[in-house]
Amino acid sequence: MQWVKVLGLGLGAAALLGLGIILGHFAIPKGADAPAPSTSVLQDLDLELLKAVMGQLDARKIRESLWELSRQPHLASSPRDEALVQLLLSRWRDSESGLDSAERTEYEVLLSFPSQEQPNLVEVVGPTGDILHTYHPNEENVTGEQGGPDVVQPYAAYAPPGTPQGLLVYAYQGKEEDFRELQEQGINLEGTIALTRYGGAGRGDKAVNAAKYGVAGVLVYTDPMDVNDGQSLPSQTFPNSWGLPPSGVERGSYYKYFGDPVTPYLPAHHSSFRVDHSNASGFPPIPAQPIGFQDAKDLLCNLNGTLAPSAWQGALGCEYRLGPGFRSSGSLPDGSQVKMSVYNRLELRNSSNVLGIIRGAVEPDRYVLYGNHRDSWIHGAVDPSSGTAVLLEISRVLGTLLKKGTWRPRRSIVFASWGAEEFGLIGSTEFTEEFFSKLQERTVAYINVDVAVMANATLRVLGTPPVQSVVFSATKEIDSPGPSGLSIYDNWKRHFNRSSPVYGTVPSLGSLGAGSDYAPFIHFLGISSVDMTYTYDRSKTSARIYPTYHTAFDTFDYMEKFLDPGFSSHQAVAQTAGNVLLRLSDSLFLPLNVSDYSEVLHSFLRAAQQELGNLLQQHNISLGPLVTAVEKFAVAASALDQHVSAQRKGSPDPLQVRMFNDQLMLLERAFLNSRAFPEERYYSHVLWAPHSSSVATFPGLANAYYRAKDTDAGSEAWAEVQRQLSIVVAALEGATATLRPVAEL
Amino acid sequence: MQWVKVLGLGLGAAALLGLGIILGHFAIPKGADAPAPSTSVLQDLDLELLKAVMGQLDARKIRESLWELSRQPHLASSPRDEALVQLLLSRWRDSESGLDSAERTEYEVLLSFPSQEQPNLVEVVGPTGDILHTYHPNEENVTGEQGGPDVVQPYAAYAPPGTPQGLLVYAYQGKEEDFRELQEQGINLEGTIALTRYGGAGRGDKAVNAAKYGVAGVLVYTDPMDVNDGQSLPSQTFPNSWGLPPSGVERGSYYKYFGDPVTPYLPAHHSSFRVDHSNASGFPPIPAQPIGFQDAKDLLCNLNGTLAPSAWQGALGCEYRLGPGFRSSGSLPDGSQVKMSVYNRLELRNSSNVLGIIRGAVEPDRYVLYGNHRDSWIHGAVDPSSGTAVLLEISRVLGTLLKKGTWRPRRSIVFASWGAEEFGLIGSTEFTEEFFSKLQERTVAYINVDVAVMANATLRVLGTPPVQSVVFSATKEIDSPGPSGLSIYDNWKRHFNRSSPVYGTVPSLGSLGAGSDYAPFIHFLGISSVDMTYTYDRSKTSARIYPTYHTAFDTFDYMEKFLDPGFSSHQAVAQTAGNVLLRLSDSLFLPLNVSDYSEVLHSFLRAAQQELGNLLQQHNISLGPLVTAVEKFAVAASALDQHVSAQRKGSPDPLQVRMFNDQLMLLERAFLNSRAFPEERYYSHVLWAPHSSSVATFPGLANAYYRAKDTDAGSEAWAEVQRQLSIVVAALEGATATLRPVAEL
């Protein structure tokens, strides 16, 4: 009975609170509720305004913001990270250049840090058990910015603590096949320490693969061949070039999934249910530690055993051998072992997103999202502050127009500064979990600019097909930095292009993996997304990423001296992203070209027919229904696109515009199936889920196919191939149904 | 390489086809695409027209339709079922009273039938093994309509074939606790045949529970106490009263889930992946067969053993004993056994839905769905033809207005005639699988009228809270049949009412289980749904359902003589359903009252606090976050409702109306979580999923609680309670976010 009383009181209080809130709500007039001026209901994108905005995006302002953002390390949940939350709030609440509103949302998430007291160590232990050598626990303080308490030592986030010790082996990139190769070479991996290098496999995968073979601990280094085009001398590297210094170490998350590891599918509020840390899946099974190539060289060049395959060789200036152990002729005594001491700790920390909103004048319930993460490993001038500086410049220019009263977008614009991305896209994922329905119903697209500039050669874009056209429109209007005189579009096309059966040679968009905060939006929510960055000329360098990635050498000076002097590339990215943002928010008809999905579907289908077709046929699995589904989709999509262009020329009714736009906006949603591959946490998009094979085709089908490949006819695995085929066919048919005239089935 | 050629050709052909279709598409102008007359864009429900429609719904026409629909048996996938498909198509394509379009969609689904050659039998086998007695394989041909090849013999659909034989026991309703009781009475159930009666547990559950205790076969009968108020003589039953004759047998599906059993989550197209029948889950584990009470009496009244509990007694005119076996003093020799011979077969059959569409004038992309199943067990005059006759009358009246050009609804109306409902809501479920995205994005509500009339005392309504207000509005306007002079609303309130803290005494809506085709719409798609029927006075009969339910005695004469002479109750249901349909399709603002959800949430919360609160507290599980979430929801919902009423009085902009309506329409969607209880196939609505307990509260929480109740603190089961609590809190918070002003987080 007591509960009733308690509730009674609760209700009474709540009723009052409710009344108060309701009164407050109605007392404060909201522009969203005042009728939009009917003149603007059918207004299309204002090209003059667009041009004006392009002109106001200022390289110097971007430079100033970048300096402020990157002058101190701002690791997720650190005091400086909080200071930047305040910086963003103040910018977005500025009376002259701010937005309609700005607020923070805070989550309590599980992060991983090295111990302050006991730094992680890598040591050589002699046959008699005494420590012969201890490697650098930290990067060398080359520019005065690599030291101090705020510079987190190199570590493998989420790798478990432990002090494994054993003979060293060299396992190349730590791929499954690399360890198999060692085993086939007759090397007993049980209890060994595996030295691997970045690239080839995901960070965490190296440890997962190693553990399968009994390896006790994993070291990871960056080979100069992979980022420095072979250059490894101090004189050849930062601060003398953009190259990675010998002591530089790439930090990173070794967690397999994304989002807060202990609140899958639930927003990580204080009261949310949390999986017991020991039951949490996706953490590396064994200790791991990244090291610099100067230390890797000392280990690798002393290895014993057979010569590693030529593909495994690198630029450390010696022959790479496989081990196990060190050779007597080297500088490390025969029989000595490597000892790793990892003291990483899991900690629940508060991490915040900052959201800034410009309310739409006509369709406030349609959102164009634009975001980047805020947290960095150290100073993060490139990653992510170059993107945040661009974000701040775009919001400054639009905020200024807004405060002047000269402009308000048709749709709402939501700017986001995500927390704890480096640990696994945590802030953005929690946001999509908290506002799942609201975002799925209303979001037009998500624009992500993380590393805005890692070099000054060309734009690079990842995205889903519907955004291709709007990115093309934007980039054709903007000059690329530098003397070329080319548009960003033409310059981009020189570096990344493909031959399209529909358009001829065009710049090629890459597909969206899980490399940044767009992942939960495209894979979990089915929201059309785009990611852009300015990058280098792949004909001039073979670097797999900019050399100082995730190191203490990613600083403002590094950016200004070696990546983007004058910040013209930053400006170019701001103009491109800003242009895309305005087109999405202000165009009467959404500039999403759904028929561009047909090209991808045809190529996926072609690949499936060529790569999987014969064996499928042998197992009496017909791709016929898939062929039909793709064709029907192509017909419906092109009919809708033509329909929209016809409408554009006519005098459409506002509700009809909305109707067509809803079809365009929601197409991506129709490809979601949360039951398609539940084992792939969050991945629900049947066209973009991860798949093991290199064949660019339907992921569920491909995964099932390669699992079934070597099993007998009639196996469960072949049944799963059938099921995955039906899943993708059903998704395509369901999507096609949403594209047809709305009063038809 | 050959694939490329094949594809090349395929593409060429497809391109031509595509072009053709596109041209065709643009050649044929579609009203949906022509701008709606701007005058109508803000037009609200026309009350004059509504009144006119009410007046045109004609009892005689309903009677004529019912006669045509029910004059022959029309079991799912039978020739007569196909004939009715044609009837519906012709009615909906009629040039004077038809709709804009009508089409069939066909699925290939797994049904279950008794063998034509070998009828299922129940026999008594003497101690020496010879057959002493064979019970009636069919119902008695009392009115000339119970005979013939189209009258499917009584059977338990999806029960496996088999010929179990053993001593008979009486297991009351076949609930888990009923078998436990028998076991506690020291009865060895291994290898027995259990005689159970309908009620208490689902059909299939009786067999599932029995199998757990080693029972070999299950018989199910209808006790006269449960449907006939005890009357069992031929003179007291049909054709002399509405009572079930002694030979009457309730058929039904014994399948646990709904939808086609072998294509879960996929539309059952010819090419769709099918689970191997042997791997399909949800079928009864042991043979089952329903029998009439005249045969049950012969078995039950001869049983040996101890007297059954008083609650287990019935109206067969003897003392019910538990068995096992027959007593020597009876008419069946001591030691004789019961033999069941079940020859049911699973068959893939084609089953069709028929869809009829009236295109909306202003918002054609918003759908109001109205449906009923078409298939019956035999003649099915009550179930489902009374509902189909009402459906045809409503579509006739609206179609006539449409063809006259005097009316077109604001939103699209989709009429549906579902196939194979009796086997497990198969047609409607396949429809929701095929058009999942399209329906989720655009459907305002689903109206279901299955059994329109099972008696003439009162309306009975099941539905989700948002539809309560529109059903109230409709029923207040319509006179109830008979002399009472009361409105349907007031009459309904006399029979089913509750005391609402907000409204005082109001008619009470029941909650939606899985009793008819609304199930996939509310549970799988999260679409607000309502189900209505005219039923009997529970103070005058204790019948659990109308007596001839699922028997060959459910005929036109039965309806006309005993249930609805004059068809005034049919007319009342047609007026009620038609009124609700028009209000949903023509009102400017959707008549969905989202704040009515708050009442349910508060009562769920109160129940959770009262029933689960103490033990949760002991396990340090706080309901605090749930209390807060419910309060926040209530505040946001009532703010939105007030906001809408304010708008209604003002001069709203069409896009703003759409914006508010989208919030109202999509609220129900926000309660879906496909990951909440994956074991409950299709059930994704966190508020309406099935739960074992009798406490009306949050189902996921309750289920987890009762599973955890007797486990130790810190068990997995208690962790699941925590998780389920967070799931419902997150759902409420997510739903609340969709109700807030759209440009706020």
Active-site amino acid positions of A: 421
Which chain B residues contact residue A20 at CB under 8 A?
Answer: none
Contact yes or no for A357 and B743 at CB 8 A: yes
CA distance A523 to A682: 7
Strands B497-500 and B504-507, by their bridges, are antiparallel
A432 touches A386 (CB < 8 A): no
Contacts made by residues B514-518, CB under 8 angstroms, sequence distance 24+: B514/B258, B514/B425, B514/B690, B515/B450, B515/B462, B516/B373, B516/B421, B516/B425, B516/B448, B516/B450, B517/B371, B517/B372, B517/B373, B517/B418, B517/B421, B517/B425, B517/B427, B517/B428, B517/B448, B517/B450, B518/B446, B518/B448, B518/B462
pLDDT exceeds 70 at position A14: no
Query: In which band, very low, low, confident or very high, does the pLDDT at A279 lie, cut at 50, 70 and 90?
Result: confident
Q: Considering only CB atoms, which chain B residues are within 8 Å of A675? A: 265, 674, 678
State the Cα–Cα distance between residues B137 and B120, nearest whole angstrom: 7
Among residues B105, B77, B699, the alpha carbon closest in space to that of B431 is found at B105
- Residue for token pair 């080297």: A330
- Tell me, what's the pLDDT at A58? 98
Which residues of B are less than 8 Å from A10 in CB distance?
A: 627, 631
Q: Assess whether pLDDT exceeds 60 at residue A32.
A: no
Q: Least CB-CB distance to A675: which of B359, B674, B745?
A: B674
**CB-based contact B79:B349 (threshold 8 Å):** no
| Minimal-distance CA residue of chain A relative to B1 | A610
Give the E-state strand segments of B501-598 in sequence order.
504-507, 529-535
Pick the CATH number of A59-111+347-538+564-586 from 3.40.1160.10, 3.30.420.40, 3.30.70.360, 3.40.630.10: 3.40.630.10
- The alpha carbon of residue B652 is apart from the nearest alpha carbon of chain A, in Å, by 7
Q: What residues of chain B lie within 8 A of the CB of A677, using their CB? A: none
Q: Do B655 and A658 touch (CB under 8 A)?
A: yes
Nearest in space to B18 (alpha carbons), one of A732, A642, A664, A623: A642
Predicted confidence (pLDDT) per residue in A650-685, tens digit: 888 999 999 999 999 999 999 999 999 988 999 999
Asked if A673 and A689 count as a contact pair (C-beta separation under 8 A), the reply is no
Quick check: A266 and B730 CB within 8 A? Answer: yes
Phi then psi for residue A322, to 5 deg, are -90, -20
Q: Looking at chain A, which residue has its C-alpha nearest residue B631?
A: A14
Q: A595-739 adopts what CATH topology?
A: Transcription Elongation Factor S-II; Chain A (1.20.930)
Cβ distance B442 to A742 less than 8 Å, yes or no, reads yes
Give the model confidence (pLDDT) of A336-350 as tens digits. Answer: 999 999 999 999 999
* Residue among B421, B430, B433, B611 flagged as catalytic: B421
Average pLDDT over residues A580-605: 97
Question: Has B64 been annotated as catalytic?
Answer: no
Average pLDDT over residues A510-525: 97
Beta-carbon pairs below 8 A across chains A and B: 264
Residue B706: predicted pLDDT: 96
Q: Given an 8 Å threshold on Cβ–Cβ distance, is B273 in contact with A742? A: no
Indicate whether this complex's ipTM tops 0.95: no
Q: Could you say which residues of chain B have pLDDT below 70?
A: 1-39
pLDDT score recorded for residue A40: 80
Ordered by start, the domain boundaries in chain B are 59-111+347-538+564-586, 116-342, 595-739
B654 vs A655: CB contact, 8 Å cut-off?
yes
In angstroms, what separates the C-alpha of B209 from chain A's closest C-alpha? 29
Task: Report the alpha-carbon distance of residue A356 to residue A415 in Å, rounded.
Answer: 5
Give the confidence band of A31 by pLDDT, cuts at 50, 70, 90. Answer: very low
How far apart are alpha carbons A11 and A28 in whole angstroms? 25
Q: Whole-model pTM?
A: 0.94
Same CATH topology for A116-342 and A595-739: the answer is: no
CA distance A188 to A183: 7
Tell me which of B38, B598, B616, B726 to substitute to probe the interface with A (most A C-beta atoms closer than 10 Å).
B726
Q: Taking residues A18-35, report their average pLDDT.
A: 38
Question: pLDDT grade, residue A401 (50/70/90)?
Answer: very high
Interstrand relation of A168-170 and B217-221 (parallel, antiparallel or unpaired)? unpaired
Helix (H, G, I), strand (E, B) or coil at B446: strand
pLDDT higher than 80, residue A427: yes
Instruction: Enumerate the residues of chain A whose CB falls inside 8 A of the CB of residue B625.
Output: 269, 271
Please name the member of A609, A735, A745 whose beta carbon is closest to the beta carbon of B3. A609
Q: Which residues in chain A touch residue B634, judged by CB atoms under 8 angstroms apart?
A: 14, 18
Q: Would you state the pLDDT for residue B651?
A: 85
Point out the residue among B22, B659, B744 whose CB comes nearest to the CB of A635: B22
Tell me which chain A residues have a C-beta less than 8 angstroms from the C-beta of B525.
none
Name the CATH topology of B116-342.
Glucose Oxidase; domain 1 (3.50.30)
φ, ψ for residue B454, nearest 5 deg: -115, 0
Decide: residue B57, CB within 10 A, 0-12 exposed, 13-18 middle, 19+ buried.
buried
- State the pLDDT at residue B65: 98
**Is the CB of A655 less than 8 angstroms away from the CB of B436?**
no
Residue B742 has its nearest CB partner, among A365, A434, A663, at A365
Q: Nearest Cα to B22, choosing from A635, A602, A630, A738?
A: A635
Q: How many residues does chain B have?
A: 745
Which stretches of B34-99 are assigned E, i.e. beta strand?
A: none
Are B606 and A734 a contacting pair at CB < 8 A?
no
Return the pLDDT at A693: 83
Average pLDDT for chain A: 94
A119's CB contacts (< 8 A; 6+ apart) are A137, A138, A153, A343
Q: Both tokens of residue A683?
A: 């991945």
Cβ distance of B357 and A744 shorter than 8 Å: yes
Residue of A nearest to B355 (CA): A745
- pLDDT, one tens digit per residue, over A135-190 is 999 999 999 999 999 999 999 999 999 999 999 999 999 999 999 999 999 999 99
Mean pLDDT of A23-27: 37
